[in-house]
Amino acid sequence: MKTIEVTELVLRDAHQSLMATRMAMEDMVAALEDLDKAGFWSLECWGGATYDACIRFLNEDPWERLRTFRKLLPNSRLQMLLRGQNLLGYRHYQDMVVDRFVEKSAENGMDVFRVFDALNDLRNLEQPIAAVKRTGKHAQGTICYTVSPLHTVQGFVDMARKLVEMGCDSICIKDMAALLKPQPASDIVTGIKAACGEKMPVHVHVHATTGVTLVSLMKSIEAGADVVDTAISSLSLGPGHNPTESLVEMLEGTGYTTRLDKARLLKIRDHFARVRPRYGEFLSNITGVDTEIFDSQIPGGMISNMESQLKQQGAAGKMKEVLEEVPRVREVAGFPPLVTPSSQIVGTQAVFNVMMGRYKVLTGEFADLMLGYYGETIGPRDPEVIKLAQEKAGKPPITCRPADMLEPEWDRLRASALALTGCNGSDEDVLTAAMFPQVAPKSVTRGPRTWAAILVPPKGRNPFETRFSTR
Amino acid sequence: MKTIEVTELVLRDAHQSLMATRMAMEDMVAALEDLDKAGFWSLECWGGATYDACIRFLNEDPWERLRTFRKLLPNSRLQMLLRGQNLLGYRHYQDMVVDRFVEKSAENGMDVFRVFDALNDLRNLEQPIAAVKRTGKHAQGTICYTVSPLHTVQGFVDMARKLVEMGCDSICIKDMAALLKPQPASDIVTGIKAACGEKMPVHVHVHATTGVTLVSLMKSIEAGADVVDTAISSLSLGPGHNPTESLVEMLEGTGYTTRLDKARLLKIRDHFARVRPRYGEFLSNITGVDTEIFDSQIPGGMISNMESQLKQQGAAGKMKEVLEEVPRVREVAGFPPLVTPSSQIVGTQAVFNVMMGRYKVLTGEFADLMLGYYGETIGPRDPEVIKLAQEKAGKPPITCRPADMLEPEWDRLRASALALTGCNGSDEDVLTAAMFPQVAPKSVTRGPRTWAAILVPPKGRNPFETRFSTR
């Protein structure tokens, strides 16, 4: 009987996927004791878009949120999603900033760093993974799963082997668009175990959007996966994840089991079922499945982004054309996986192509992508469009690791942060200002919270009131 | 490469499970050409609660609906769900009525008869299965899957072998409450194939309620199942079924495939996505999963029934007690599967037990169940409660096949039907009056429709108007 370990996603990816990352800390606190004692391998609770949402919408200091988790989840591994050299921002940061961010995250309580790069460019993972290793914490190397004429099982397995050579403690297959079908799931896990050794832990992260991925988890487990990601049922399915309780029940009678406490799972479920309606205005209205994305390979979140861009331009009727343009733009750009930020970059360029003519106007980000400033893509990029990008951006294409182009910037970032009202001078505050230069200056100091932005206080709540405190 | 065949449920069980069986024929007609040509093994489209809903709520003659399907689905096997000796009503009918119903169904176009008995009492299946065989149509013997201390894989396999000996053309494992987990699914299919021969077709019908059953379908397929039941995605999930499109995609790259036309599936999906909002008031509000039913074994539909019974008695707060009482009542009654009508009978008695004290008041149906008038149960029934039932009902327990207690009744049923306004004298009309003696007399004749009840005309529609006609 093999025990399958589980990472619970409700504190991060579940509400990021289902309610625009809007869940406030005060709506999580009451469930933490049960989450801490239910028997999860880890609790994903930080990173991704949560840092941004904390300061932009929720009047929370993300570092304070992390310290609260650390305090109230004493028995749990805390896990975060880290966008490689981008950290939690939207550009590449110089290595010293990356080091500082990882050190501070570890110091404030983070245990497991799931590190990915949107282009699967290993060079963008080297620095953050080395930084995690230096802290003694768990470095999880991540493969962004996608489908294209160039992506193969062998390619993903090769990437896993290289991640292990870089010192990763485990490998994650990250299927952000629910494209991972049962057979490739089985093949990739089998391949990784053969290439990296049976003892190298393999984690599988899938979304539920297409309806097939609980089967993919089953086949992954049969192929040797050690840890799978799920979300408690009351915040699951649709563009979110498979329900934790269903995973537990699914395994009954097989040669696999979990060590999850079903009674605690029900309490956690009931808590988030009560919380969910408070976020009605942000809730995804997708409750069924979408299998068309197997053909378009466009994640659900990306479609809603493009829809709103088209509407702003009074061209909502052009959606079909845009959907057909996305795969062409992706091919021109060398078949990147579609995940933050490549999904937004490709999607926006597809909208521009349809509205103004193909590559008549390039976005700055798309030009950077074409010129190599986000890293290397699996396929060659279109030379004609590279030429246009060079004209637009006024800089040459590069082939080196993008962060190698950056000058040391920590001292400059620190100085500009210190000049802002409300900065308490800590490295944590400097990192907030560095990653969110537009948002941080608008935030103010109030009581124990240093970067508590009040741009959009949570509906129906007094932003000056907290229902929990850890200090 | 093995081709897995698919039965599409959208025309019957999908809307029975998700919108209280309310879908009107006029909302199906536009999708029939695509359904007919998409490559399904069969289209389940009649029986279950649809007959009742047609005359009670929809102003439709169920026989006319069947003839319309036959005409507009010329390339398809039409499939129905038949409640054994109960036909589509709620009591046992004498054998001649059973024969007549099956003959008329075949004559009007039915191809595949899925025949089940709520107690899995094979004696209640003999007459209807023999009747189907005489018409030359497909007789599918059905095992109601349930979980109890007495139900075993071997027991289900033995039942399958007996059904084959009775002449069934195929075996269906019917999991009406989504309790069938992957491992038992695999074990039962493997057992049936070993006991009945590889060539005996095995069909697997599961609901989606608990979130695990697409995995169960995958394991059934790997174990040798030939046909699986799904519903088009826009009318799937929750208390309904797994999405047809997800099944198709799930199999990619495995040794299995379907012969379904994906382009037609998308058109069918879009049609029912447009239709669905018209039935908003009847739509199930369950969109997530419920895994607690693995412990309570109470199907979702039964819970909502009991809730409304409790509310009527001003005792909504007693729900928890009732939920705990159901398994006890089920044990007293010999562990019947919980499916129409046993689910209602057990559930109502549990409500009575909680409200008035245990077995202080017995319903007539529960007394009949205890006395054997619905058939034999897998376990012994409680002798104390049998004694109470005998007092209440004023009749002795029986051990024979229940229908053997019935006198020939066709002529009497025919005579009373002919006395009703609107009866056109056909056997079809006599069967309507026989199965729904309370509803049929209130219906009126209008134009081509003979038993067109107008108790509750479909919202927003003129009941005197039809948007389709086959005559």
Q: Residue A240 contacts by C-beta under 8 Å, 6 or more apart in sequence?
A: A9, A13, A14, A17, A18, A207, A208, A231, A284
**CA dist list (Å): A176 to A116, A204, A324, B243:** 12, 11, 21, 21
Q: What is the per-residue pLDDT across A170-190, written as a single tens digit (0 to 9) for each? A: 999 999 999 999 999 999 999
- The answer to whether residue B277 neighbours chain A at the CB level (below 8 Å) is no
Give the model's confidence band at A25: pLDDT under 50 very low, under 70 low, under 90 confident, else very high.
Answer: very high
Measured in residues, chain B has a length of: 471
Q: Which residues of B touch A289 (CB under 8 A)?
A: 233, 236-237, 243, 245-246
From B186, which residue of chain A is nearest by alpha-carbon distance? Answer: A254
Closest Cα partner for B70 from B109, B31, B27?
Answer: B109
* Closest by Cβ to B182, choosing from A218, A248, A288: A218
What is the rounded CA–CA span in Å between residue B264 and residue A382? 35
% of chain A beyond a pLDDT of 90? 80
Q: At B59, is the pLDDT very low, low, confident or very high (cuts 50, 70, 90)? A: confident
Q: What are the Cα distances from residue A7, in Å, to A163, A319, B279, B384?
A: 21, 36, 39, 50
A291 touches chain B (CB under 8 A): yes
Distance CA(B144)–CA(A2), nearest Å, equals 32
Say yes or no to pLDDT of B172 above 90.
Answer: yes
Q: How far is CA B65 from CA A96, A461, B275, B436, in A?
A: 73, 55, 18, 17
For residues A224-233, give the mean pLDDT. 98
- In this predicted structure, the answer to whether residue B450 has a pLDDT above a threshold of 70 is no
Residue B388: per-residue pLDDT: 98
What integer pLDDT is reported at residue B442 of this predicted model? 72
d(CA A368, CA A384): 15
Q: Which residue of A has its CA nearest to B209?
A: A246
* Predicted local distance difference test score (pLDDT) of residue A157: 98
Cβ contact, residue pair B250, A182, below 8 Å: yes
Q: How far is A243 from chain B (nearest CA, A)?
A: 8
Handedness of CA A37, A40, A46, A49 (dihedral sign): negative
| The one-letter amino acid at B76 | S
Structure tokens belonging to residue B379: 């376990």
Instruction: Residue A287: list chain B partners with CB under 8 A.
Output: 237, 287
User: Which element (helix H / strand E) includes A256?
Assistant: strand A256-257
**For residues A140 and B244, what is the distance between their CA atoms, to the nearest angstrom?**
36
**Is residue B153 less than 8 Å (CB to CB) from chain A?**
no
Indicate if the pLDDT at residue A42 is higher than 80: yes
Q: What is the predicted pLDDT for the residue at B304?
A: 74
What are the angstrom distances between the C-alpha of B26 and each of B49, B154, B276? 18, 45, 13
The ipTM is: 0.91
Q: What pLDDT is recorded for position B226?
A: 98
- pLDDT exceeds 80 at position A193: yes
Contact A46, A80 (CB under 8 A): yes
CA distance A46 to chain B (A): 25
- The 10s digit of each residue's pLDDT in B259-300 is 999 999 999 999 999 999 999 888 887 778 999 888 877 776
pLDDT at position A74 is 98
Contact B60, B449 (CB under 8 A): yes
Q: Chain A within 8 Å of B288 (Cβ-Cβ)?
A: yes
Least confident piece of the model among A80-84, A302-306, B225-229? A302-306
Mutate to test the interface with B, among A147, A153, A249 (most CBs of B within 10 A): A249
Q: Which helix (H) or strand (E) holds B140?
A: strand B138-144
The whole-number pLDDT of residue B447 equals 35
What's residue B453's pLDDT?
35
List the beta bridge partners of residue B43: B8, B78
Cβ–Cβ gap B243/A292 under 8 Å:
no
Q: Shortest Cα distance from B200 to chain A (angstroms)?
A: 26
Residue of B nearest to A184 (CA): B253
pLDDT given for residue B340 in this prediction: 85
8 Å CB contact of A210 and B246: yes
The answer to whether residue A105 scores a pLDDT higher than 60 is: yes
**Contact state of B288 with A243 under an 8 Å Cβ cutoff:** yes
> CB contact, 8 Å: A406 with chain B?
no
The verdict on a CB contact (< 8 Å) between B181 and A288 is: no
Q: What is the DSSP string of B253-305?
A: TSSEE----HHHHHHHHHHHHHHGGGGGGG-----S---THHHH---HHHHHH
> Cβ of B183 and A212 within 8 Å?
no
Evaluated on CA atoms A245, A170, B219, B237, the torsion sign reads positive
Phi/psi for B144 (5° steps) reads: -80, 115
Chain B: give the shortest CA distance to residue A145, in Å: 16
Cis omega (within 30 of 0) on the bond before A457? no
For the packed helices A300-312 and A319-332, what is the interaxial angle rounded to 10 degrees? 120
Q: Which residue has the tokens 């599988």?
A: A204
pLDDT band at B469 (very low <50, low <70, confident <90, very high): very low
pLDDT at A441: 79
- Contact present, A84 and A128 (Cβ < 8 Å): yes
Q: Do B291 and A248 touch (CB under 8 A)?
A: yes
- Strand duo A444-446 + A449-452: pairing: antiparallel
The per-residue DSSP string of A289-339 comes to ---THHHH---HHHHHHHHHHHHHTT-GGGHHHHHHHHHHHHHHTT-----
The amino acid sitting at A10 is V
CB within 8 Å: A287 and B215: no
C-beta atoms of A294 and B181 within 8 A: no
Tell me which chain A residues have a C-beta less than 8 angstroms from the C-beta of B233.
211, 288-291
Overall average pLDDT of the B375-393 stretch: 97
Strand residue runs (E) in A120-207: 138-144, 170-175, 202-206
| pLDDT one-digit tens code per residue, B8-38 | 999 999 999 999 899 999 999 999 999 999 9
- Asked if the C-beta of B236 comes within 8 angstroms of chain A's C-beta atoms, the answer is yes
Q: Which of A77-91, A298-312, B434-448 bottoms out in mean pLDDT, i.e. has the lowest?
A: B434-448
Burial class (CB in 10 A: 0-12, 13-18, 19+), A311: exposed
Q: Give the pLDDT band of residue B443 (cuts 50, 70, 90).
A: low
DSSP β-bridge partners for residue A444? A452
What confidence category does residue B308 fall into, taking pLDDT thresholds of 50, 70 and 90? confident
* A265–chain B nearest CA distance, Å: 11
pLDDT the model gives residue B300: 67
> Which residues of chain A make contact with B294, given a CB cutoff of 8 A?
249
CB B138 within 8 A of CB B146: no
Amino acid at A413: L
pLDDT at B157 over 70: yes
pLDDT of residue A134 exceeding 70, the answer is: yes
Residue among B17, B21, B26 nearest B46 (CA): B21
Disruptive mutation site among B187, B261, B289 for chain A (greatest number of A CBs within 10 Å): B289
Q: Find the range with the poorest average confidence among A37-51, A419-433, B454-468.
A: B454-468
Tell me what the pLDDT averaged over chain B comes to: 91
Q: How confident is the model at residue A451 (pLDDT cuts 50, 70, 90)?
A: very low
Whether residue B288 and residue A249 make contact (CB cut-off 8 A), yes or no, is: no
Residue A446, pLDDT > 70, answer: no
Can you tell me the distance from the alpha carbon of A430 to that of A97, in angstroms, rounded to the nearest whole number?
10
| Residue A300's pLDDT band (cuts 50, 70, 90) | low
Q: Number of A:B CB contacts under 8 A?
A: 109
C-beta of residue A20 within 8 angstroms of C-beta of residue A32? no
Per-residue tokens: B403: 């229908």
| Minimal-distance CA residue of chain A relative to B263 | A292
Length of chain A: 471
Looking from the CA of B280 toward its CB, the CA atoms found within 13 Å total: 5
CB atoms within 10 A of CB A431: 28
Nearest chain A CA: its distance from B187 CA (Å): 10
Whether A237 contacts chain B with CB within 8 A = yes
A450 — pLDDT class (breaks 50, 70, 90)? very low
What is the overall mean pLDDT for chain A? 91
Q: Which residues pair with A171 in a beta bridge?
A: A141, A202
Asked if B214 and A211 come within 8 Å (Cβ–Cβ), the reply is yes
pLDDT-derived band at B465 (thresholds 50, 70, 90) equals very low
Q: What tens digit of pLDDT does each residue of A372-431 get?
A: 999 999 999 999 999 999 999 999 999 999 999 999 999 999 999 999 888 889 999 999
Mutate to test the interface with A, among B214, B230, B272, B286 (most CBs of A within 10 A): B214
The mean per-residue pLDDT over the stretch A7-35 comes to 96
Is it the case that residue A447 has pLDDT exceeding 90? no
* Contact status, residue A443 vs residue A422, Cβ threshold 8 Å: yes
* pLDDT recorded at residue A298: 78
Q: Which of B52, B105, B312 is nearest to B97 (CA)?
A: B105
Which positions ≥6 away from A383 have C-beta within 8 Å?
none
pTM value? 0.92
Each residue of B329-364: pLDDT tens digit? 999 999 999 998 899 899 999 999 999 999 999 999
CB contact under 8 A, B214 and A210: no
| Rounded average pLDDT over A68-80 | 98
Does the pLDDT of residue B468 top 70, yes or no? no
Tokens (6 digits) for B197: 């021969």
Nearest to B423 by CA among B10, B63, B18, B9: B63
- Scored b (16 or more CB within 10 A) or e, A209-229 reads bbbbbbbbbbbbbbbbbbbbb
pLDDT over 90, % of chain B? 80
Q: Cα dist. B348→A140, B20, B313, B345 in Å? A: 54, 19, 12, 5
- Flag whether pLDDT at B445 surpasses 80: no
- Res. A65: pLDDT tops 50: yes
> Has residue B451 got a pLDDT over 50?
no
Contact B375, B401 (CB under 8 A): yes
Q: Chain A contacts of B266, Cβ < 8 Å?
A: 292
Range in A148-157, A422-431, B186-195 the model is least confident about: A422-431
pLDDT for the residue B424? 86
* A289 in reach of chain B (CB within 8 A): yes
Is pLDDT at B365 greater than 90 in this prediction?
yes
Question: Could you say which DSSP state residue B317 is in?
Answer: G
Terminal Cα-to-Cα distance of chain A (whole angstroms): 44
Minimum-distance CB partner of A236 among B212, B242, B288:
B288
Closest listed residue to residue B397, CA positions, set B406, B387, B412: B387
**B250 min Cα distance to partner chain A (Å):** 6
Token digits for B323? 């939920």
